[in-house]
Amino acid sequence: MISCSIRYNSVPPSKVYEINDLESLFFETLFSKLQEAKLKNRITLIRMSNGTLAVEYAGYPVGKVKLQGKIHTMQILKGLYKHYSIEGNIQDFLPKIDEWVKYIQKYIK
């Protein structure tokens, strides 16, 4: 299980979500890929009201991932004005983490 702080988008939150196994696997993979790319772990997680986690690196948005509920989605930023979202399962999302790392290296770092 990952140990990280998740802020909520509203205070007090209307619903409190527990970190599930899918989120734990996703963020363990993300953190290990950041280490491989020699990037510091400066990730901030913000929980939205529907369970989506907005992911920021050093205060800049990287994307969003929703692994709570029945429908799972992931948003991938491709530039300052381009993005796309995919719907699927954790096996669809894990390879896309590399795109988040590339985005951080190209636009944020």
- Maximum C-alpha span of the chain: 37
Q: Is the pLDDT of residue 38 over 90?
A: yes
pLDDT at site 12: 82
34 band by pLDDT with thresholds 50, 70 and 90: very high
Spatial neighbors of 43 by CB under 8 A, at least 6 apart, are 4, 27, 30, 31, 34, 55, 56, 57, 62
Entry pTM: 0.91
Q: Is the pLDDT of residue 1 over 50?
A: no
* DSSP-assigned letter for residue 58: T
